[in-house]
Amino acid sequence: MKYTDFDKSAGYAGLLEIANKSEAFDFKKMLNADRVKTCQTFLAEGLVYNWAAKSVDEKVLNALQALSDELELIPKYKALLEGEVMNTGEDRKVLHQLSRSLDEKTATGISVENEGRDLGAFYRKELIRFSEFTERVRSGEIGPAPGRRFTCFAQIGIGGSDLGPRALSLALENWAAAEGKITYRAEFISNVDPDDASKISSSLPLEETLFVLVSKSGTTQETLTNELFVKEKLKNAGLDPGKHMLAVTSETSPLANNPGYLDSFYFDDFIGGRYSSTSPVGGVILSLAYGNDVFKDLLIGAASADKAALNPDITKNAALLDALIGVWERNFLKMGCTCILPYSQALSRFPAHLQQLDMESNGKRVNRDGKPISYSTGPVIFGEPGTNGQHSFFQLLHQGTDIIPLQFIGFKQSQRKDDSVIDGSTSQAKLNANLAAQITAFAIGQGSDNGNKDFPGGRPVSLIYGDRLTPQALGALLAHFENKVMFQGFIWNLNSFDQEGVQLGKVLAKKILTKAGKSSGDPVLDAYGEILGV
């Protein structure tokens, strides 16, 4: 397998030539009803990726396919699945796809060993352990005290130990209720701002609450602080914290093997924080709140998207095509942002999860060997659910000076199916009418002699759509974006699986906190500390 910096590839040169020579893609001419219905590909679990309103013609598509073949994107994905060390900075395998394995074989039929240990078997063992445990909690067999049940669950974690599980929990809440699933309240505490832990813990019936402490490293300041914050509240309420807290961590963390927790569930360093939603990091809280059959359906959905991402034909591989088009926009059309717009309230925190997933993975300026690179890498990711976003930042998206590619997500049906006809249409119809309208307005625009009312169009748009946001569809959606980010990392020849860029701030914060009235040796740091009262 060859690892080449992107700008040294023939594919890069080919795409650059097309970008320099071709006239800009004419959305008004190119985008027609036929293109809307044909420029799309099956993603998985009934979801479809539509790229009709992307500035991609036959020539660009062929060049992207050639690039994918030349950079061996599918063989690299297969090597990752087979356990090759892809996290080069930390010398680790990358095995989050293996965590979706429900039976002897992984979704892709590959097994991975490390130092004689079958890792698929390890992940499955933990899945079985926490599935049994969570069912015993839900049935009341395990409770806080004889004759009492846990009725609320609260996860304490931050970053990858919070964003994905929180986004998924919100995404499942309405669906589970509408389907008549027995559901329990799930809350999340992440910020070290005391107002977060204080507000959530004081809103919970502590005597019936089980806290799920999640930290892979077991050293994250915010999470350990919030653990002690909550334990103090439990003690003050006359409760034994040991009977109200579980741990999810790695076997090598300082939190592991601690009898002070009701139980502990494990994953390992081969599953990065932002890729850990399908491990016990997301599995425990989702199983407690919605039942482990729901979580397993989510795993099935993720596994089927992982499988679909193996297709070498870019027009039949949604994650690969999405990644390649993103690179076309970022490196050749010079677009620096991507906006994620789910037209689904259930996905209200999904953009925040994708922000970490993408920006922590591909926000890098060195290649996988730590050598500087001189081309653009990961875009800025932001987003909000529609239609709320329309009444906020859409003005800039329609008429601002920068062109920002848009990634819409929509569903034909609502999750709750509790809807009314008002002014001749349901709310769901209004939601999707707005979605169709926005895509058309962004892509085609509308000319006017009045510059203020002129919509230039030409904003590239993709749409992922399906019938309804079910656990399977949600799992597929999650894996789609994980795989998109992975393919882009391969193209940019960087390591998408470490996050050195978050370390410096952690070190400096510690320096201020431990200087004990003295100078930290850094006058600027001290001055900022001083004006903030630290």
Catalytic positions? 360, 391, 506
CB 210 within 8 A of CB 177: no
> Which one of the spans 14-22, 32-40, 157-165, 480-488 is the region binding ligand F6P (CB under 6 A)?
157-165
3-state secondary structure 205-224: CHHHEEEEEECCCCCCHHHH
- In the complex, the smallest distance separating the C-beta of residue 426 from ligand F6P, rounded to whole angstroms, is 39
> Which one of the spans 152-160, 375-383, 397-405, 432-440 is the region binding ligand F6P (CB under 6 A)?
152-160
In the set 11, 14, 159, 165, which binds ligand F6P (CB under 6 A)? 159
In the set 41, 215, 292, 483, which binds ligand F6P (CB under 6 A)? 215
> Which one of the spans 108-116, 215-223, 316-324, 446-454 is the region binding ligand F6P (CB under 6 A)?
215-223
SS3 433: helix
106 lies in the site for ligand F6P, by CB under 6 A? no
134 lies in the site for ligand F6P, by CB under 6 A? no
CB 69 within 8 A of CB 312: yes
Kindly tell me the burial class for residue 66, based on how many C-beta atoms sit within 10 Å of its own C-beta (0-12, 13-18, 19 or more).
middle
246 lies in the site for ligand F6P, by CB under 6 A? no
Q: CA 324, CA 69: separation in Å to the nearest integer?
A: 12
- In the complex, the smallest distance separating the C-beta of residue 187 from ligand F6P, rounded to whole angstroms, is 18
Q: CA 320, CA 314: separation in Å to the nearest integer?
A: 6
- Nearest residue to ligand F6P, using CB? 273
In the set 160, 280, 385, 457, which binds ligand F6P (CB under 6 A)? 160
364 lies in the site for ligand F6P, by CB under 6 A? no
In the set 144, 165, 273, 529, which binds ligand F6P (CB under 6 A)? 273
422 lies in the site for ligand F6P, by CB under 6 A? no
Cβ proximity to ligand F6P: between 123 and 394 the closer is 123
296 lies in the site for ligand F6P, by CB under 6 A? no
Q: How many helices (H) and strands (E) does the chain have?
A: 18, 17
CB 278 within 8 A of CB 295: no
- In the complex, the smallest distance separating the C-beta of residue 66 from ligand F6P, rounded to whole angstroms, is 34
Q: CA 212, CA 456: separation in Å to the nearest integer?
A: 49
102 lies in the site for ligand F6P, by CB under 6 A? no
- Which of 120-132 are b and which e, b meaning 16 or more Cβ less than 10 Å from the residue's Cβ? bebbbebbeebbe
Cβ proximity to ligand F6P: between 150 and 267 the closer is 267
* Torsion from C-alpha of 247, 252, 254, 257, nearest 10 degrees: 50
345 lies in the site for ligand F6P, by CB under 6 A? no
DSSP state letter for 370: S
228 lies in the site for ligand F6P, by CB under 6 A? no
- In the complex, the smallest distance separating the C-beta of residue 222 from ligand F6P, rounded to whole angstroms, is 8
Strand order in the sheet with 152-156: 185-189, 152-156, 209-214, 245-250, 264-267
Q: CA 323, CA 475: separation in Å to the nearest integer?
A: 18
348 lies in the site for ligand F6P, by CB under 6 A? no
CB 166 within 8 A of CB 155: yes
Q: CA 283, CA 130: separation in Å to the nearest integer?
A: 8
Q: CA 358, CA 92: separation in Å to the nearest integer?
A: 19
158 lies in the site for ligand F6P, by CB under 6 A? yes
293: left (phi over 0), alpha (psi -120 to 50) or beta: alpha
For β-strands 40-44 and 47-50, DSSP reports them as antiparallel
Site for ligand F6P (CB under 6 A): how many residues? Answer: 14
In the set 155, 220, 226, 277, which binds ligand F6P (CB under 6 A)? 220
Cβ proximity to ligand F6P: between 87 and 331 the closer is 87
Cβ proximity to ligand F6P: between 114 and 250 the closer is 250
- Give the CA angle between residues 476, 482, 485 to the nearest 5°: 140
Pattern of binders to ligand F6P over 465-504, x per CB under 6 A? Answer: ----------------------------------x--x--
274 lies in the site for ligand F6P, by CB under 6 A? yes
Which helix H or strand E contains 298, and what residues bound it? helix 292-308
> Which one of the spans 210-218, 234-242, 402-410, 525-533 is the region binding ligand F6P (CB under 6 A)?
210-218
Nearest to 511 by CA among 534, 495, 481: 534
CB 467 within 8 A of CB 413: yes
Nearest to 114 by CA among 135, 94, 128, 143: 94
> Which one of the spans 58-66, 199-207, 216-224, 433-441 is the region binding ligand F6P (CB under 6 A)?
216-224
Cβ proximity to ligand F6P: between 225 and 413 the closer is 225
88 lies in the site for ligand F6P, by CB under 6 A? no
- In the complex, the smallest distance separating the C-beta of residue 421 from ligand F6P, rounded to whole angstroms, is 44
223 lies in the site for ligand F6P, by CB under 6 A? yes
- Residue numbers of the site for ligand F6P (CB under 6 A)? 158-161, 215-217, 220, 223, 273-274, 360, 499, 502
